[in-house]
Structures are given as structure tokens and as C-alpha cells.
Chains A and B, each alone.
Chain A
Amino acid sequence: MLPWKYNKKMLQQTIDILSSYQIPKKVCMMGNVAVARGAIEANVDGVFSYPGTPSTEISEVFSHVNSFQNRKENIENYPEQTANKIYFEYSINEKIALEKAIAYSIGNKSALCVMKNVGMNVACDALMSITYQTIVAPLVIIVCDDPGCHSSSNEQDSRYWGKMASVPIFNPATPAESLKQTKSAFLLSAQLKLPVIVRLTTRVSHTRGVINYGKLSKKNSEASFERVPEHINIPAKTAAAHTQLLNKLHSDYFNEHGVKYNQIVHQTKNKKQNANIGIITSGVTTVYVKEILERSALKNNYSLLNLGLICPFPTAIVLEFLNLPLKKIIVIEELDPIIENDVRIVAQENKIKTAIFGLGFSTLIPTGEFSLDSIEKALLNFTKDQSLKNKNVPIKNAENLVKNLPLRPPTLCAGCPHRATFYALKLAVPRNIPDVILCGDIGCNGLGALPPLKMIDTINHMGMSVSMAQGLSEAFSNSNQSNKTVAMLGDGTFFHSGVTSLLNAIYTKANILVIIFDNRTIGMTGHQDHPGATHLNKYHQIDLLPFIRGMGAQYVESIFPFNLKDSFRKINDALATKGVSVIVAKSPCIFLPEFKDGSIHRKKIVVDHTRCNTCDNHEDKQIACARCYSPLNNLSRAKLKITAINHVPAQKQLCPANICNHGFFNSIIEGNYSEAVKMVRDKMLFSRTCGDICHRPCELLSNNKTIVPIKKLKRFVSSFDESFFDFSNAIQQTKNAKKKNKKIAIIGAGPAGLSAAYDLIREGYAVDIYDKEEKPGGMLKYIIPFFRMDKTGLDYETSVLEELGVKFLCSKQLGKDFTINDLSQKYDAVVLAIGLWKSKKLEVVENNIPDTKKHTALSFLKAINTDSIQANQPLRYLVIGGGNSAIDSARAAKKINPSNTVTLVCIESRENMPAFEEEITHAIEESIEIVNEYAIEKVVDSNNSIHCTIKPLLSDKTQLITCDVIITAIGQSPNTELFSELNEQTDKNSSLININNENGFTNFKNVFAAGDVCNGNHQSVIGAIASGRRAATGIRQLLENYKYGYEGIAALKKLNQSSNPPLNPLKEEKLPPFGRVEVGQTSNFKPQTSKDLLERIKGMDLYQACAKCNHCIDNFGCPAMIKVNGKIEIDYQKCTNCGLCIDVCPNNAITFIEEVIPV
């Protein structure tokens, strides 16, 4: 509620309502305001209330009056309006309000007590006993019922309180009656020394009508207290007091008031009974009936009795009405048949035979509100008088059309601190965790139950949340479900009744978390005061934290909800603390001046549309993505933003094959390992192979401090067979692809060729692969040793291509069985991916050692992989070279017979060996001796041994090594004869094929190249895969005018520019001992690896913008954020600059910009 001085109309209304008018002043006011004026005309001294729709405006009038009368300048300027001071308070609940009002009356000051329907339930303890005693000055209670539940938790009929407590009840029909009856209620209360209830309904409270403000009289009540026995209630006296109370209800005063408010307002003129119809109404139904009867051509047929003072029941006037010559009577009242039942009693007692109808007739049902339409229908059915009917021609089918319109439920405001708290809780307790029960409460807090927040499981009556949580927690105390139950309530509700329940929770050692949404006001009903309110200095503010700490709760902390990180942390701590935890989420309601004072005026929220709902992984939005769109997935992404310690931009860890590492990582965080594998397979065949042997440029080439262990994660998720064998996405993509009717030949079934094939077949191309070996796989199959990777897995991954429709033409040799030219003519495009299969030789070895005692790395490893090496006798091996094939050979030599002795000699220093660091480490661990910085000087073959003289690079101190077998592993070169047709396109130094770096085109006819045979390509598995994919993109550009470049081009170029082979900056990085993943069985290393691994990635966030994001709409729901054409727009009319969305957006698309916003 804004101070009255800001609101011209409210100020005028306050002055008007406090003024006396010689000539009545005509105003059009709400029923609630009329009640207030009635009380003022009755000289009320004090008003005690608890706000609640539909009663709120009554209290607001007095709140304004109170602050008006207490201002010094008003006392000077408005002496008449400030003379009769009216005390006002928002009590903490209805019981206190009524108790204090009773006491005020006993102190000889007249009192008004205001509440909504359910408020009477809280207050009734006070009501039920005071009637047996006595009040002194008049006391009037206003109760506002809410048929149709516009804003209440039930449709109770408060007229029952009249019978229950034996107090008089007025039931006005219009604002004008509300004024008069309230005034009369004060008089009657004074006459009887009994509280009197004025009961309104929403349609009376919130209807405006013309009323007259009359004269005010001078007030002269003096506070006094008389010691009379009636003030002491003891059982011995109660029975007698009850008799006295019932006698009061038979007082003659009721005749005096009844004459005014219980009237036959329209009486039939027909003498004959036949056509005459009687209608009895009370409250708003009276005006509905009056307006409808006005239409009738047969007005003389109707008699209408309106009852305004309904308790005690006005038997005399009802009997008079029943005795009119009426054919039948209908009682029309909303909710329960209270009047109807008494009418029937009167009829029976007086043997009246006229038929009486009421509840249950036609549209007259006990639930919901009546309307002009429902009553018209009831009266039409009852009277058959067609002239009652509305004669306007309606719109055809209107009701159906209206029914189908989208609803507009209320939401938490933009900038509401409640949303911030709910959101922090949502991060801590996502709704897919079923065993945390969230108990909400009445008021704005309850709006958290609505989508998209949906953070409430139960809402009952005011303050029940805390009891609900402790009761449920007790019920589950002996079950496995040990999670805390959460209670959430606003600060107003907490003071109203949650506080006693919290005491009970602490005292009974409950295990709950209570979150108090402390926005320093009662938000829902229009910002009234309560003990925590700060915006008016009339009250003493109660600080929740010391108060609750004093109660003895185990954990008590306050949060500023907009600080999401801190809120999340504290909520987690509170959940982890056994006993009663209390969090006070403190931030002012956006309607309070404090909020506006604290908001940021010079900045403006903006959404970067290049980041909102956009994929950062690939430009071509048609490229398949296995990542599932789900609100929960996005919540998990958003959670990392708040909870992770290390934030790594996914751009820092790009994969040359362009696997979406962001989606891959998040799938794993969400526990969806099969989706993670699918994300790898979006881009390439080889999830398990890469998990085994990729040299992980995504990690090594990242210059970030924190590095997400992508390779280990890949290895981990690929170890699940059910995911590994699932190629359903690729099969579906191939099936759905538009057939291009183009044929592609790929020469070489290594990783480059197979990768090109995988991409092309899924785009609708026909693909034939030629390979010289018996089986596809190239170096992966024949050279990489079995102990470094899962060969069976590889076989499966390559076999999938066949399933997708790729044709393998194996044991076909380029140059012998076909030429590049042949294929170039036969096919629409050709990919040359033949790798480097020619070993470099060392002359000293070649010339001096017989073939039986020497190998090249390639021949040795191929023999190993094809099982054609005899390894029965222990042998001494000498490996020459410092690269990966040397290390592979050395390790293989050791693996085939652990008794073999293996020495490796290379000219590089230990640090500069081109082999992968991890491999070198493994070799050393496997007792392979590595001799660095030596060259081979001399090799001599004797009968039993080979004697090899080696010489350091910088000295002449030679050494002798004796061995049985020499393996030369000093590198490979291309077999240039095979592609002599491409001579023009070959690099003169390296003999490798020159290609276009963007698309792999060789500049020769329709021939593309990929893999190690390309000049400038990185000689690694991932380098081969990526270049294969690049060639596939090049072919698409050529054959279908595909307009995008290769999606991973940036990462591939970065890879190609890196040291080749790469140097390893992460010396400490070690792969765990290789646990072989056998096809058909689950890996035995999985459990501990997953635990360590998942522990290791805890606190990491690999972030990137994602197109499958709808997070702010799905999980946050700020009304200032609107989605237009797939992008979020800010509605600046609503935006309060709270800035929470900046922390919410997982795409990092929202920021503040400096801008002076005109206020």
C-alpha cells in the first residue's frame, strides 16, 4: 500500500469518508468502503483486522484514515476530520484481532473487527465464549464470504456463526445496505451488549453503487473498566449465562431493526392465488432477482421478500409472507440453505401448505456463485414467464469460443524474490527427486505451485505448511526415506500462524526445513503490514533471525534470494542438517519502496540473440544432434552455471571431429550415458576406439587451467555395451536421408576413409570402399596393437557401415586392380585415404641383417595383430626409433612374451620423443629400457646374436647392445607409385598430397584426399577422422551445393598446426592400467573408474550455448521474458532489473548494459 500522499484519489476518499455532510453526499463506492463509512457514522473508536480478500478494502480505508489522522499537518488543516481519532491495527491474526477488539470494547471503546470467511475459523475461539459474558462498548465483526472462491481456500457459509455463537447477523445486498446495516449493527450491539456480525459476499464487497454519506456526530467515549463478575468466565456460571444469551436473541430490539431490513419489497396485486409466485432472497441474490423481475410483463404476479437481518430468524415477517395468496415460493440464497430451512420450519409449524422450493431447483446449487444468468434460468424454469428472458441476440457459439481461449493464471511478478528462492530450491531439489516433499502455504507463496516453477506439493490453510512438513516427516521417520520435508511460507503467514507450528516442530525435534519467504509485507492482498514489515514506522519490526534462533532451531540462516550461489549453498547445508533448519529468504516485495530503492536504474537487461537458443557447435542447423531437449536437462545445465567451481568454455576443448563436448559432458552429468555415446556417434563411428587411443587434442591443446577429461569420459560411457551397440540414430538418419543418387568411391578403409563413408552414407550417398587388406580398419585394425584398444569393438563399429549400406571391396589394390582415374570416371567423387604404409629403412640394418631377424614397425605390428609371430622362446629385441610405432613395437614385443628383453634406442632426448607421453610411461612401467640420444653406429650379425654399436649424439663413447631381433621404427612414407596420377598435386619434399585445407580437394578431377597421406594433415587417429569428415563435406559442396564448410574446421586447423606428432604438456596425466573391454561383457573396471571419474568432474562445467534450450520458460517463468520467434525478448514494461535471469540463462545470453532508463 502506497502512502496516501502519493494517491490523489485515496487522499480525497479519506477526507470524504471522515467528513460530515449536512446534505447527504452522493458517492459511488464499493460495499467494503460503505461498511467503513457505516462504522465511522456509528462512531467506531478502533478497528482490528487481518487482511484477506474480499474483505481487504475495509481495513485499507482505516489504515489510510489512521495514517491521515496522525499527520501533524492534517491535524492543522483538517480539524474536523482528525477530531475523532480512530485506532487501527493489522493484528497478526484474526484471533488476536477479535480478542483485542473484545478487550477494547470492554475498555468502553467501540470496536470493529474485520476478516475474510476463513479468518472467522481462526477467531471463533474468542467469539464462542464472549457471547456468554459481556462486552461494554459495541463490537461489530465483519466477515466476507467468497462464493465461487475467487480468492479463498473454501466456500464456507459464515451465516452459520449466527446460530453457532448465538449472535445477530446482518446480510446486506448492496453497498447502500452495507452502510446502513453496519451502522445498525453498532446500535444493536450496544443495545444487546453482544457482538454483531455483518456478513458480506464478494459480490457485495466488490460491487460499487451509489450511496449517501450523511452526518457525523461528535464522539465522546471515555475509556473505563468496571469490575463486574461477567468478565470472569468460570464453568459454574456458564449454564446460566447461556440462558441469558438466548434471551438476548428474543429482545424487542430486533423488531426495531427488522422493520428496516426485512421487507416485502414487492407484493402481488392479484387476489387469486393461481398465478402468484413468492420469492425470498437475501444478500446479492436480491438485486439479481430485482433486475430480472424488472423485465417481466407480469410484474403483478410476483411477491418478493428480502431478508437483511437474518439471525435470529425473522419469523414474523416470513410468516406474513407465507400467508400471502401465493401458488408457490422459491428461496434463492447462495451457498447453504440456511434461510430456506428456517422458512420450511415456519411453514410446518404454521401448517402452511404453499409449496416451497429452494436449493436443488434448476440452477440453484450450493457451490459457486450465482449470476444474473443462473438466476434468470432458475426463475424461467420456476415461473414459465418468458418475458423474464434477456431479449438481446447473443453471439453464436460464444461460450464455446471463450472456453477454448488460453487462460491467464496469476504469476509471481517479474523481479519477485519468491521466484528467486523457488528457483534456488529447484536447483537443490529438482522435481525428479520424488522423495522430497514440498509443503507450500497461502498467499503469493502458493503461486510457486503453478507452472513452470511447480515447487509445491501441498497447500492447505494458512500456516499449515509447517505442520504439514513436520507431520509428514514424522510419518516417514521410520522408513528409508530420510530426506527432510520442506515447508515454505511467507513472512505474513509465518507470523499469522506458522510461528506456533514452528515452535511445535522444534519442541518435538522434527526433521524439516522451513523456508520463510520474507518479503516484508503481506503481498497477495495488497501489501499490508505485519510484524516483519518495514515500510511504515507505526509498528515495531520483529527481526526473524534472532527470534527463530531464540526458539532453538538447529540451523538458522538468512539468504538474499538473488544471490543464487549463496542461496543454493545454504539450502543444501540446511537440508543436510538434521533437525529443524530455517532459512529466511529476505528481500522486499517489488511493490515496496525498498525494492525500488535497491533496484538498478542505470542498467538495462539485454538478450544476445546470437546466444539465446542457439547452437554453438555447428552453423548448419540441420546437422543431427542426439541431445534430447528436456526442461530437466536444461535445468541441469543451468545448475552447473550456479554450482560449478570451474567453468570451462566448450570452445576451449574443441574436438577436430566436432563432437559437441558440451552436450556430451552434460549428458554424463545427468547420468544419461547412452545419450553421451549417441552424441559421439553424431559425428563419428569410433566412440570406443577414440576412448582408447585418441591422443585427446581437445584436452592437450586447451590452454585452460581446468581441463575436462573428455577422453576418459568417452572411454567410460563407451564401456556400456547397450550404448556401444546402439546405432539406431545413424540407421534412422540414413533411412531418412534424401537419396542423392550419387556414388562415391573411397580408397582406403582406415579411420579417414571410414569416417568419410559414415558421413556420406547418412547424407544419402551410395558409398563403395576399396581396401588392399582382407578386412576394413586400416592401421586401427592392423597396426595399433591389441593391448591399446578393443579390436572387437572396432570390428563392430566398422561393420555398422555395412549395415548402413556401405559396400566394402576388400583385397583390392590401388595400382593393381584399379587406378584413381578409373574410379574418378566411374564415380561422382573419390576419396583417397590410403595412409602411409611404406616404412622408412635404416641402411645399416638393411645391409647387414637377414630378413628373419629384422622387422619394420609396420611389419612387426601387423604380424602381431594377425597372430603370426612365434613367441615361444624368450628373445632380445632392439627397437630403433622414438615415435609411437616404436613404442607400440617395443610394448608389443614385451607383451607377446614377458620374458623378452626389449631395448629402445632413439636419437631424441626423453622430453623430445615424438611418442605420446602416456605410451612412453607405460613402456617404462613395463620394463622396457629406453636409451635416449643415441644413434646406430654399426650393426653386426653373428650366428647367435646381433651386435649393435650405438653412439651418443654429442660424444664418441659408444656402447654395445646385443639382441636377437631388430625392429626399425623410424617412420613411414607414402607409396607414391600408387598415386602417380596425382604427381602434379604432390608436395615435393614430403611426397604427400597437397589438398585444399578447407575441403580436402586435391585439385585433380573429382578426387579428394584424407588422412595421413595428405600434406599438412595431423598424423593421428583423430586427425584422420576429422580429415575424412572434411573430405565428405567437400564432396557435398561439390555435388549438392552444400553451403556450409566443414563444421570442425577450426579445431582441425588447430590440430594440424600443433606439433606433429604432438608433444604432451601434461606429463602427469596417466591412463589407468588398460582394462580390456570385451565385447558381449560389461567391463570390470567400470565401477571404480566411474566413481573416481565422476568425483573428478564434480564442480566442472563445460559450457556453451545450446539450441535445445527453453530453460527460462520451462523452469523459471519470469513474466518479463517472452519468447518471440524462438528468442527471448524482455518486456521492459514488466522488467524490474532484478538481474536474476542473467544467472539463470545457461546459454549466457543475458547481460546488463549501461543505460539510463527514464523513470
Chain B
Amino acid sequence: MSNKTKIQVAGVGGQGVVFLTNLIVEAALIADIPVATSEIHGLSQRGGSVTASITLGENTYGFIENAGADFLLGLELLETQRCLNYLHKNSVVVADNFKITPFLVNAGTAKYPDTEAFVQLLKPQIKQVIVIENITGIKDILRNMFVLGVASKVSSFPLSAAVIRKAITKNVADYNLETTLEAFELGRNYCNQKTNNK
């Protein structure tokens, strides 16, 4: 991989996609890595899909092309699947096994896609798929930090835990800081636990 890294973040309005993106940007600035992002705002508060593209490195401008994402951080499984076209052979997917049913599924006119099949489809085609099975002990709104924690453990992730911690400290209000950092650390421990269990 070149010195460029592209990270796609996907979720639903209210899940903290923008917040997660802000942290990655802040961390990159602390690490002195050129960074740019692209997001679509507007209807996100109304429960629609929200995605953000983050590009790190020279000569990138925040845009991710098809088969261009080195990392996909998915906060919701359907939205994670919706970013399939950005993945390539060397991509790493970190996805929270969290579902928010869209109205069409709720109304019974569409089916929530088979997530197991999705994972099976991905596994042979990309470098690594981490589906976080069961996040407990933290508020739902901090699941994004857990996902970031898991991603930061992947060796090719361009930002160190230290700079991410600094970014969190800089961005999060004092009364939420402890729980936010805790969620991040729980995410970092997640992979260890999994390996230990095996």
C-alpha cells in the first residue's frame, strides 16, 4: 500500500458517523498526516443513510472511488453493505453487528439483507473482515468509539492509539470523556479477547 489510506465510514443518522470522522481528522492533524474528508449532510438527522469518506496522505482530497477504500468502518450492517462497491482485495472491514431496520423492512415490503451471506461473500475476497458480534456495557451512542478501537488494532490502520486518545481528549466534553475513552479501549481489547477465546 502506498502512503495514502482511504477510510469509508457508514451508518445511519444519529449514530455518530460525523463525530467519528471528526476524531479521525483530528488524530491525523495531531500526527501531521495530510487529511481530507467528504460528507453529505442535510437529511442525516431524519434517520437517513450517512457516509463519510476520509483520505489520508498527499494528493488526496477526501474522495473515495469504487474499489478505493482501504478501511470500511460500519456502524450499521445494512449501511456497511451499501459500501460494498468501495471495497477491494486489500480492504479491511470493521463492522458492528448492529441493525437499524429501515422503514421499508419495517413495513414488510423489503427484506433486511442476509448479513451472514454478506460476510461469507466478503471473506474470500478481501484481506480482513471483523464483524463485532456483541458490544455490551456501553451506551449505543458510543458504539462508534468501540468500532474505532477495534480498527485501531489492525496493523495497517494509519493512526496510532496514542494520537486517537489525544484527539478524543481534545474533542470530547469533560463529562463524557471517561466513557468515550473507555468505549475506545473496550474496542481495542475486543480483538485480544477474541483471540484468547480461541
Contacts and interface: CB of A to CB of B under 8 A. Distances in A.
Given A371-B65, A406-B78, A408-B102, A447 B46 contact: yes
A207 B140 contact: no
A54 B42 contact: yes
B25 A411 contact: no
A203 B106 contact: no
B63 A26 contact: no
Given A150-B40, A406-B111, A390 B67 contact: yes
B173 to A, nearest CB: 4
Nearest to B15: A1133
Contacts of B103: 408-409, 411, 451-452, 1117, 1119
Interface string B168-196: 00011100000000000000000000000
A413 B49 contact: no
A208 B22 CA distance: 10
A207 B59 contact: no
B20 interface: no
Contacts of A399: 66, 85
Interface stretch (B87-95, B130-138, B147-155): B87-95
Contacts of B49: 408
Contact of A210 (B36, B87, B171, B173): B36
Contact of A28 (B35, B87, B89): B35
Contacts of B106: 1113, 1121-1123
Nearest to A591: B45
Contacts of A294: 59
Contacts of B88: 392-395
Given A408-B49, A412-B46, A413-B46, A398 B85 contact: yes
Contact of B126 (A207, A395, A405, A1122): A395
A401 B84 contact: yes
Contacts of B62: 207-209
A26 B29 contact: yes
A27 B101 CA distance: 37
Interface in B15-66: 22, 25-26, 28-29, 34-43, 45-49, 59-66
Nearest to A1128: B106
Contacts of B26: 28
B161 interface: no
Given A210-B36, A290-B59, A53 B42 contact: yes
Interface in A365-417: 371-373, 376, 390, 392-396, 398-399, 401-402, 404-413
Nearest to A447: B46
A278 B145 CA distance: 46
Contact of A54 (B34, B41, B101): B41
Contact of A9 (B82, B110, B171): B171
How big is chain B's contact interface, by range? 35 or more
A209 B81 CA distance: 27
Contacts of A371: 63, 65
A405 B113 contact: yes
A526 interface: yes
A288 B46 contact: no
Given A203-B38, A206-B39, A209-B36, A451 B47 contact: no
A496 to B, nearest CB: 18
Contacts of B101: 1122
Contacts of B68: 372, 390, 392
Interface in B97-156: 101-108, 110-113, 121-122, 125-126, 140
A392 B67 contact: yes
A394 to B, nearest CB: 4
A406 to B, nearest CB: 4
A373 B38 contact: no
A390 B91 CA distance: 14
A451 B64 contact: no
B96 interface: no
Interface string A174-217: 10000000000000000000000000001100111110000000
B184 to A, nearest CB: 17
B170 to A, nearest CB: 8
A291 interface: yes
A266 to B, nearest CB: 12
A526 B49 CA distance: 17
A408 B51 CA distance: 12
Nearest to B117: A401
Contacts of B172: 8
Nearest to B34: A210
Contact of A1114 (B79, B107, B173): B107
Interface string A408-432: 1111110000000000000000000
A372 B67 contact: no
A402 B81 contact: yes
B48 A410 contact: yes
Nearest to A408: B102
A973 interface: no
A524 interface: yes
A287 B25 CA distance: 19
Contacts of B45: 413, 526, 591
Contacts of A411: 46-47, 103
Contacts of B81: 401-402, 405
A394 B66 contact: yes
A53 B39 CA distance: 12
Interface in A1-51: 7-9, 26-28
A407 B61 contact: no
Contacts of A458: none
A335 interface: no
B2 to A, nearest CB: 10
Nearest to A631: B107
Contacts of B66: 373, 390, 394, 398-399
Contacts of B75: none
Chain B CB within 10 Å, residue with most, of A288, A410, A1114:
A410
A1145 interface: no
B9 interface: no
B44 to A, nearest CB: 8
Given A402-B81, A405-B82, A413-B46, A28 B102 contact: no
A398 B87 contact: yes
A1055 interface: no
Contacts of A406: 78, 102, 104-105, 110-113
Contacts of B121: 395, 401
Contacts of B25: 28, 208
B161 to A, nearest CB: 20
A982 to B, nearest CB: 54
B159 interface: no
Nearest to A1124: B101
A920 interface: no
Contacts of A452: 103, 107
A28 B28 contact: yes
Contacts of B35: 28, 208-210
B63 A1119 contact: no
Contact of B47 (A376, A408, A1122): A408
B12 interface: yes
Contact of B85 (A27, A395, A524, A1123): A395
A145 B168 CA distance: 34
Nearest to B90: A392
Given A390-B65, A1113-B106, A408 B43 contact: no
B67 A394 contact: yes
Interface of A: 7-9, 26-28, 53-54, 56-57, 150-151, 174, 202-203, 206-210, 287-288, 290-291, 294, 371-373, 376, 390, 392-396, 398-399, 401-402, 404-413, 444, 447, 451-452, 524-526, 591, 1110, 1113-1114, 1117, 1119, 1121-1123, 1133-1134
Given A8-B173, A208-B25, A406-B78, 13 more contacts: A28-B37, A151-B41, A207-B38, A290-B59, A373-B65, A392-B88, A398-B67, A405-B81, A405-B82, A409-B48, A410-B13, A444-B46, A1121-B106
10 contacts: A54-B41, A294-B59, A372-B64, A372-B65, A372-B68, A394-B88, A405-B78, A409-B48, A444-B46, A525-B42
